[in-house]
Amino acid sequence: QILHPSKQGMGRNVLISIQMLSVQPDTKPKGCAGCNRKIKDRYLLKALDKYWHEDCLKCACCDCRLGEVGSTLYTKANLILCRRDYLRLFGVTGNCAACSKLIPAFEMVMRAKDNVYHLDCFACQLCNQRFCVGDKFFLKNNMILCQTDYEEGLMKEGYAPQVR
């Protein structure tokens, strides 16, 4: 199998960065996506390819000002959310097949058949070699193996893979 990253449970969920920009006095005022008024403040926020007053970019649940809470926001089902409310509403997506810890819904994961892994946990379970995108890996008896360990296991079982 060839390794490809995926996002579990993401669908249209998106982790978005928030930029705080200084308004230059000689530029035409931009319209706020929240209130539709011109932004004449000293600073504005840019998120979701739109411009916002600092007071207008808020979490749909708790009303916290997202520019103050951090540099990211989350969107799902046309809601703009802070991290805390996103996790509260949409929770975790399951457990990692390697470490058994919970995987948050927004976290990047790796998959092998029905198993889901944290990126840091996606490694050969014999030699701990981490896989990168595009690396070959093998799934044998529900264990992730690198090519070397997989082939050594086959040799011990009395079967050598054919080289073509």
Task: Give the separation between CA 59 and CA 63, rounded to whole angstroms.
Answer: 5
Higher pLDDT, 140 or 127: 127
Asked if domains 15-89 and 92-158 share a fold, the reply is yes
Supply the pLDDT for residue 5.
34
Inter-CA distances, 17 with 31, 47, 51, 98, 149, Å: 19, 6, 13, 30, 41
Sheet strand arrangement including 19-22: 19-22, 43-47, 50-52
We find that the CATH architecture of domain 15-89 is Ribbon (2.10)
Whether the pLDDT of residue 2 is over 80: the answer is no
17-56 tens-digit pLDDT: 888 888 877 788 889 999 999 999 888 999 999 999 999 9
Domain ranges of the chain: 15-89, 92-158
Supply the pLDDT for residue 25.
76
Mean pLDDT of the chain, nearest integer: 81
Supply the pLDDT for residue 160.
52
**Reported pTM:** 0.51
CATH tag for 92-158 (out of 3.40.50.2300, 2.10.110.10, 3.90.330.10, 3.30.230.70): 2.10.110.10
Q: Determine contact, residues 98/113, Cβ cutoff 8 Å.
A: no
91-125 tens-digit pLDDT: 666 889 999 998 877 778 888 888 888 889 999 99
As a whole-number percent, the residues of the chain with pLDDT over 70 amount to 85
Q: Residue 85: helix, strand or coil by DSSP?
A: helix
Whether the pLDDT of residue 3 is over 60: the answer is no
